[in-house]
Amino acid sequence: MKIDKSVENDGVIFMSIKENDEKVQDNGADDNVTILAIESSCDETAAAVVRNGREVLSNIISSQIALHTVYGGVVPEIASRKHVEKINGCIRAALAEAELTLDDIDAVAVTYGPGLVGALLVGVSAAKAISFAKNKPLIGVHHIEGHISANFIEHKDLEPPFVCLVVSGGHSHLVVVKDYGEYEIIGQTRDDAAGEAFDKVARAIGLGYPGGPKIDKAAREGNPDAFSFPQAKIPGAEYDFSFSGLKSAVLNLINQAKMQGQELSQADVAASFQKAVVEVLSGHAIRACKEYGYNKLAIAGGVASNTALRELLEKECAANDIEFYRPSPVLCTDNAAMIGSAAYFEYKKGVRFGLDMNAVPNLPLGDRERRYHGRSSN
């Protein structure tokens, strides 16, 4: 992946992501489906143009991370306001880079949940406005389905069925992707999501926000065996995750050290915590592949960009004859190209949403009834 980055006056980082230096060529086919996709569920405003679910013509991300860093986490009100300011510029840039206009696209897709309601509403309103003004089909996409679909962009040959480990700031799911858009959830977190645990522990050890990448970096200088942290097993639900006990164990260690006037190595705590998380994630994922009989494992979501997780899964997959699929880090964190990919497979199934589509902050994964609320019949 090639990333062109610039920092704007307000501190927002503008990125244009390309698979390589070359422009995607017109393939001459007359049955192409070109989708303009929009994503605004958290602190990234993003727009992309995706052809046939796998070819990215443009991928624009406007990242607000720097604005939220001073507060130690995402401030929903600030995020919504920035989305309003940035969304049109992102859409324009995505179309310009793809050398297309709104008239050239076949459909407009948008993340309509889960996420921060005020943030989601910005993308949803923009997509509905384009759909209405240009009379283009509208497709709502589940954010996590988008994350999973990032794999279809990176790995042009990947097709369902496969197992996918989805680990983001709000979700930790182990799913069987039975077909495009068809998921069976076999495990999920009982408390904190993996990314949430990274963020909370990073704050506790003084690394700040965003926690995941900072722990990832600090851990490279630390000893992963310096401390032994608990890895929760849930009796009767062996594919579920629980990270709150691990987080408490780190907090206890820090408090004890403080009381005893001991200095703790930030890098050692980061490395030991990270080891505990990635071993659980990898252990569950590999066991799921073996027990459910799949030889393909994909990863998705912000935490999937974690170096230690990628390395461990690479090793474990090789040892167990499992093909390992992982999107480039920039396709693991929030972006709109992944939304355009997920939307394509829905589009092909005939899914169309009505203009009554609304943001659904707690939209469940895999629940087609609730997912398609607001869908039109044509």
323-325 and 34-39: which strand pairing? unpaired
Task: Please say whether the beta carbons of 173 and 166 come within 8 A.
Answer: yes
Interface positions, 179-198, toward ligand KG4 (CB under 6 A): 195, 198
Q: Which is nearer to Zn ion, 168 or 306 (CB)?
A: 168
Q: Which does 140 bind (CB under 5 to 8 A by kind): ligand KG4, Zn ion, none?
A: none
Instruction: Report if residue 114 touches ligand KG4, rule: CB under 6 A.
Output: no
Q: Among 16, 57, 21, 17, which residue's Cα sits nearest to residue 37?
A: 57
Q: Among 340, 329, 323, 343, which residue's Cα sits nearest to residue 300?
A: 329
Please state whether 131 falls in left (phi above 0), alpha (psi between -120 and 50) or beta. Answer: alpha
CA 201/CA 203 separation, integer angstroms: 5
Among 137, 160, 212, 340, binds ligand KG4 (CB under 6 A): 212
For the chain, give percent helix, strand, coil, nearest 5: 45, 20, 35
Instruction: Report if residue 341 touches Zn ion, rule: CB under 5 A.
Output: no
Among 42, 46, 165, 343, binds ligand KG4 (CB under 6 A): 42
Among 334, 335, 352, 371, binds Zn ion (CB under 5 A): 334
323-325 and 296-300: which strand pairing? parallel
Residue 170 three-state SS: coil
Q: Which residues contact 279 (CB under 8 A, 6 or more apart)?
A: 231, 312
Q: Which residues contact 102 (CB under 8 A, 6 or more apart)?
A: 36, 95, 130, 133, 134, 136
Q: Of 67-75, 103-111, 166-174, 214-222, which part binds Zn ion (CB under 5 A)? A: 166-174
Interface positions, 290-349, toward ligand KG4 (CB under 6 A): 301-303, 305-306, 333-334
Among 113, 140, 211, 222, binds ligand KG4 (CB under 6 A): 211
CB of 317 to ligand KG4, least distance (A): 19
CA 157/CA 262 separation, integer angstroms: 53
CA 146/CA 123 separation, integer angstroms: 15
CB of 66 to ligand KG4, least distance (A): 15
Q: Which does 219 bind (CB under 5 to 8 A by kind): ligand KG4, Zn ion, none?
A: none
CB of 213 to ligand KG4, least distance (A): 4
Q: Of 30-38, 211-219, 229-237, 347-355, which part binds ligand KG4 (CB under 6 A)? A: 211-219
Q: Which is nearer to ligand KG4, 181 or 301 (CB)?
A: 301
CA 312/CA 222 separation, integer angstroms: 17
Task: Please say whether the beta carbons of 312 and 282 come within 8 A.
Answer: yes
Q: Among 101, 137, 173, which residue's Cα sits nearest to residue 365?
A: 173
Q: Of 128-136, 199-207, 315-323, 331-339, which part binds Zn ion (CB under 5 A)? A: 331-339
Instruction: Report if residue 170 touches ligand KG4, rule: CB under 6 A.
Output: yes
Q: Which does 181 bind (CB under 5 to 8 A by kind): Zn ion, ligand KG4, none?
A: none
Among 213, 222, 224, 340, binds ligand KG4 (CB under 6 A): 213
CB of 351 to ligand KG4, least distance (A): 22
Cβ atoms within 10 Å, residue 368: 12
Instruction: Report if residue 79 touches ligand KG4, rule: CB under 6 A.
Output: no
Q: Which is nearer to ligand KG4, 53 or 170 (CB)?
A: 170
Instruction: Report if residue 168 touches Zn ion, rule: CB under 5 A.
Output: yes
Cβ atoms within 10 Å, residue 113: 22
Give the total of residues touching ligand KG4 (CB under 6 A): 19
Q: Which is nearer to ligand KG4, 127 or 299 (CB)?
A: 299
**Chain residues in the site for Zn ion (CB under 5 A):** 168, 334
**Chain residues in the site for ligand KG4 (CB under 6 A):** 42, 168-170, 195, 198-199, 210-213, 216, 301-303, 305-306, 333-334
